[in-house]
Every structure is written in structure tokens, then in C-alpha cells.
């Protein structure tokens, strides 16, 4: 396995790049905007393909690298379903897995630091975001933070993991890089409390200054979506009413870009093809399934995904491959569902 812990000294952020092998797919956790060139260099050096970028929560102390990585690698962005970020490709809930080739991360909903905080469990290690830090815990005094929820997340979820589980946090300001669940249970000063009330009291009296970057980072991190205003005004972006009107039209092929488990969970537009986003480039170029379908039948490709981000990227890729009529559904299945569009479940 390839496992790299990268550090941004300005914000004290740890970023993790993980792949199962050289030449394979990779994912990145909590990338920092200013370090994106460094990550992409490492991706090339290690000969891996970045396919997913995850933020454990909406950060207040640095601007996320999610949008820049998506724009430069066409990777899929991932956050929790509670996030206020405008558009991410995949929104996970408790128990969902985030997969790339040879790797599965289990999403654990661990609110408290923010209400969109997730931890990710991978075999012998857990990425705890700002929920559980080494000898500390993430502050709970802004962004819908809640010390009571954090107590639950830590004591009833993270500390229930096996003692030897490695703890990889999103930050450290002292130079520590890794800990274990057992070590934190025994030595983390914030966790030496007798009750939830004692913990709440402790967290409510920390009297911390707001992070320096907060006024810049939070608004920026809410708008990570693929220049949505720009995308929305293109003629290749169809709203739900326009897409509904094309159902059953023999000249249009609805193409679902989501992963199999997203389809199971949220349903599928009847009579649509399944062409997962990860294989998109292969599919839209000469010889690929979608390219040949569009060319042989003159059908217009109508892409859709969960929220409209992958599908907007797919339109650009298809147009680049010569399929000029490709279009997509604004807001994806999420908007389709809200409008009462038909779904097979
Ligand atoms: Fe944070």
C-alpha cells in the first residue's frame, strides 16, 4: 500500500494520499489549496491516478484543495451529506464506503467539531479529521459545533474501535504525526472526564480566538462547486423540466455516471445506461461504449449523476472527444427527486 502523510505548516494540516499500488487509483484526504502542485507532483512521482478527494468537514482554517484537484484531475469530490458546501460529487452518510481500487474507507459520522464532521476507517487506521486530535479534540465553538455531540462521537464511536487502531488526525500543532485509540483514551487530557457534562463544561471554557483564516476559508470552502453559475448558463445544461421532456425520446440516451451503490441507494432514471464516471474517458473516446453508441445511433448523450458535478465534467470530456451534442441534468438525481421525476428503485 502507498500511504503518505503530507503537512501544511501554515495551517498545521495533515493531508493523506493513499493508493493500493503503483499504477493504481488513489484518493486524498483533506487537501490544502496552496499544496495542490505538491500533491500532483507526488501523484506523478508515485505513478498513481487520483480519483477521489475527500474533506472530513468544512474547514475554517485553510482553503480546501478539493475544487482545484477536481479541476486539474477530474477527480470526484466527497464530503458528508450534512455539508453546506455547494456542490460535491458524492455525499456520504454513516456506514457508506468510499472506494478506490483496492481500498475501502468506511464513513463514520462524528459530529461535534462541526455538524458535517466525518471520520474514515480503513483497516488498521482511522482518519479522525478534527474530531479526535493527538492529545486534543477539535474545538466546538463555531460552525454548528456541539460539545455534547462530540462527546458521543468520541466516546461512543471512535473509542469503541480496537485499542491498537492508528489515529491519523487532520491537524497537529506540536509535531505529533500518529497515535492510537488506546493511547488517546489513556493520555488525551480532554478525555479524562467522568461525564458528558464535564466534557461540555471543559469545551465551553476554552476561550479560543477564531482561526486567522476563518473569514476567508469558510466562505471559500462553501463554494467548491464547479463554477456552478457558469455551468448553469451553458446551453448543454438542462434543467429538470427540459430533461423530463426528453424521457422516452428515442434520440436521447440518458447516461448515469454514478457508482453502483449510489444507484441502489437513490434509484435510477428508467431506461438509462450505466457508465460509471471512473471509466468516462475510456467510454467517450473512439472505440469506447458511449462514443460508439452516439456515433452509430446519432443519439444525444444526456449525462446525470448525484448533484450535477460529474455530469458537467462528463459533458466537457465528451465534447472534447467530438461528441458535441452531449448535455447534462442540472442538480442531478438530487434535483430530479425533488421535482418528483420517475425513478426505478
Ligand atoms: Fe476543522
Please write the tens of the pLDDT for every residue from 103-120: 999 999 999 999 999 999
Whether the predicted pLDDT of 225 surpasses 80: no
Question: Quick one: DSSP state of residue 12?
Answer: T
Predicted confidence at residue 146, as pLDDT, reads: 97
Whether the predicted pLDDT of 134 surpasses 90: yes
Q: Which three cell numbers stand for residue 3?
A: 500511504
Predicted confidence at residue 229, as pLDDT, reads: 60
Whether the predicted pLDDT of 232 surpasses 80: no
Q: Which three cell numbers stand for residue 19?
A: 493508493
To the nearest 10 degrees (0 to 180), the angle between helices 196-204 and 147-156 is 130
Neighbours of ion ligand 1 (CB under 5 A): 59, 130
pTM exceeding the 0.85 threshold for the entire prediction: yes
Report pLDDT digits (tens) over 148-185. 999 999 999 999 999 999 999 999 999 999 999 999 99
Task: Tell me which of 265 and 214 has the higher pLDDT.
Answer: 265
- Ligand 1 center from residue 117 Cα (angstroms): 8
Q: Which three cell numbers stand for residue 124?
A: 488498521
- Ligand 1 center from residue 60 Cα (angstroms): 6
pLDDT above 90 coverage of the chain, percent? 89
Predicted confidence at residue 228, as pLDDT, reads: 58
- Ligand 1 center from residue 230 Cα (angstroms): 29
Question: Quick one: DSSP state of residue 251?
Answer: T
Q: Which residues contact 24 (CB under 8 A, 6 or more apart)?
A: 48, 49, 100, 101, 102
Predicted confidence at residue 210, as pLDDT, reads: 82
Calculate ∠ Cα 320-321-327, nearest 5°: 70
Alpha-carbon distance 233 to 312, whole Å?
12
- Ligand 1 center from residue 138 Cα (angstroms): 7
CB neighbours (10 Å) of residue 313?
24
The answer to whether the Cα torsion of 247, 253, 259, 264 is positive or negative is: positive
Alpha-carbon distance 180 to 334, whole Å?
38
Task: Give the distance, in angstroms, between the CA of residue 16 and the centroid of all CA atoms in the same chain.
Answer: 13
Alpha-carbon distance 178 to 42, whole Å?
21
Mean pLDDT of the chain: 95
- Ligand 1 center from residue 131 Cα (angstroms): 8
Task: Give the distance, in angstroms, between the CA of residue 113 and the centroid of all CA atoms in the same chain.
Answer: 18
Average pLDDT over residues 268-288: 95
Whether the predicted pLDDT of 186 surpasses 70: yes
Amino acid at each position: 500500500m502507498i500511504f503518505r502523510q503530507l503537512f501544511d505548516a501554515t495551517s498545521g494540516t495533515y493531508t493523506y494520499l493513499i493508493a493500493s499500488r503503483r499504477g493504481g487509483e488513489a484518493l486524498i484526504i483533506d487537501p490544502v489549496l496552496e499544496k495542490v502542485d505538491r500533491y500532483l507532483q507526488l501523484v506523478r512521482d508515485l505513478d498513481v491516478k487520483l480519483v477521489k478527494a475527500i474533506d472530513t468537514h468544512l474547514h475554517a482554517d485553510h482553503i480546501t484543495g478539493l475544487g482545484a484537484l477536481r479541476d486539474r484531475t477530474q477527480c470526484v469530490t466527497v464530503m458528508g451529506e450534512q455539508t453546506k458546501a455547494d456542490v460535491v460529487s458524492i455525499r456520504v452518510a454513516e456506514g457508506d464506503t468510499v472506494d478506490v481500487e483496492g481500498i475501502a474507507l468506511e464513513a463514520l459520522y462524528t459530529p461535534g467539531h462541526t455538524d458535517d464532521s466525518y471520520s474514515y476507517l480503513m483497516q488498521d487506521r482511522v482518519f479522525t479529521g478534527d474530531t479526535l486530535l493527538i492529545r486534543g479534540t477539535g474545538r466546538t465553538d463555531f460552525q454548528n459545533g456541539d460539545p455534547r455531540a462530540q462527546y458521543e462521537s468520541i466516546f461512543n464511536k471512535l473509542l469503541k474501535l480496537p485499542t491498537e487502531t492508528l489515529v491519523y488526525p487532520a491537524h497537529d500543532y506540536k509535531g505529533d504525526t500518529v497515535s492510537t485509540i488506546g493511547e488517546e483514551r489513556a493520555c488525551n487530557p480532554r478525555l479524562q472526564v467522568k461525564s458528558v457534562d464535564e466534557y461540555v463544561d471543559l469545551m465551553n471554557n476554552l476561550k479560543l480566538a477564531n482561526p486567522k483564516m476563518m473569514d476567508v476559508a469558510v466562505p471559500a470552502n462553501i463554494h467548491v462547486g464547479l463554477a456552478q453559475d457558469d455551468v448553469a448558463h451553458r446551453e448543454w445544461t438542462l434543467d429538470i423540466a427540459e430533461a423530463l421532456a426528453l424521457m422516452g425520446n428515442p434520440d436521447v440516451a440518458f447516461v448515469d455516471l454514478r457508482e453502483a451503490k449510489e444507484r441502489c441507494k437513490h434509484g435510477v432514471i428508467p431506461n438509462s445506461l450505466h457508465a460509471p464516471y471512473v471509466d468516462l474517458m475510456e467510454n467517450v473516446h473512439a472505440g469506447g461504449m458511449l462514443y460508439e453508441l452516439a456515433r452509430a445511433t446519432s443519439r444525444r448523450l444526456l449525462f446525470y449523476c448525484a448533484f450535477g458535478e460529474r455530469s458537467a465534467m462528463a459533458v466537457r470530456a465528451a465534447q472534447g472527444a467530438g461528441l458535441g451534442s452531449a448535455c447534462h441534468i442540472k442538480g442531478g438525481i438530487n434535483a430530479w427527486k425533488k421535482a418528483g421525476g420517475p425513478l426505478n428503485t
